[in-house]
A and B are shown apart, each in its own frame.
Chain A
Amino acid sequence: AQSVTQLGSHVSVSEGALVLLRCNYSSSVPPYLFWYVQYPNQGLQLLLKYTTGATLVKGINGFEAEFKKSETSFHLTKPSAHMSDAAEYFCAVRVFTGGGNKLTFGTGTQQKVEL
């Protein structure tokens, strides 16, 4: 069964510092992996996704993630944090349900950005 684990429920960085949000997955088949961001009282917005091909995936707002099969990881990074990056971030893996598919989410990481 596919699952994801996000290390650190709350993370704080200074504005301008590196953002690093960790995600490890478990999958018996080649995974499709996603990062979503959720701002307060809003739905989820896709940041980036990995399906096949290039293992370094670039997304919106300067975020990128690297799929590392040997480490079963899909960590999210951004070189320089901005105050607007304060939000909750969810890693997800696509699970095939036989007749369809679904996303299985991690528990989320609340990212705080300080001046």
Chain B
Amino acid sequence: DAGVTQSPTHLIKTRGQHVTLRCSPISGHKSVSWYQQVLGQGPQFIFQYYEKEERGRGNFPDRFSARQFPNYSSELNVNALLLGDSALYLCASSLELAGGRETQYFGPGTRLLVL
């Protein structure tokens, strides 16, 4: 079975540009979450989507946005890139949302470098 997939694997952008990161969850999983992992730190929660609705948002500026499509895949968009946005962006999927016991399975991440 395919795991969580993310594209692209690596990306280089310059300050002020826009970026779109993509995530395909494990088949049957309806919840997708996005995390930002800055070098040397633990992942930080950005968004959670379930059944195409936003269910949680972390402490990130409005430059960050996301959406989930009918097939449960998701996009993370970041506008007006800053140097500090350089990080590994991780997508995680889980089967359900309610209860919180479900395991979140992580993809390999997209490494974004902003110059």
Given A36-B106, A43-B108, A44-B106 in contact, is the A101-B42 Cβ separation under 8 Å?
Answer: no
1/0 per residue, CB under 8 A from B, across A20-58: the answer is 000000000000101010000111111001010000000
B interface, how many residues as a size bin? 20 to 34
Do A105 and B43 have beta carbons less than 8 Å apart? Answer: yes
Report A-chain residues with C-beta under 8 Å of the C-beta of B72: none
Do A102 and B33 have beta carbons less than 8 Å apart? Answer: yes
Number of residue pairs A-B, CB distance < 8 angstroms = 66
B63 lies within 8 A of chain A by Cβ:
no
Q: Residues on B close to A: CB < 8 A?
A: 4, 31, 33, 35, 41-45, 48, 50, 54-56, 58, 90, 92, 97, 100-101, 103-109, 111
18 contacts between A and B (CB under 8 A): A36-B106, A41-B111, A43-B109, A51-B101, A94-B100, A94-B101, A97-B56, A99-B56, A100-B48, A100-B56, A100-B97, A101-B97, A102-B45, A102-B56, A102-B58, A103-B35, A103-B92, A105-B43
Nearest first, the 5 A-B pairs at minimum CB distance are A100-B55, A105-B42, A97-B56, A100-B56, A44-B106
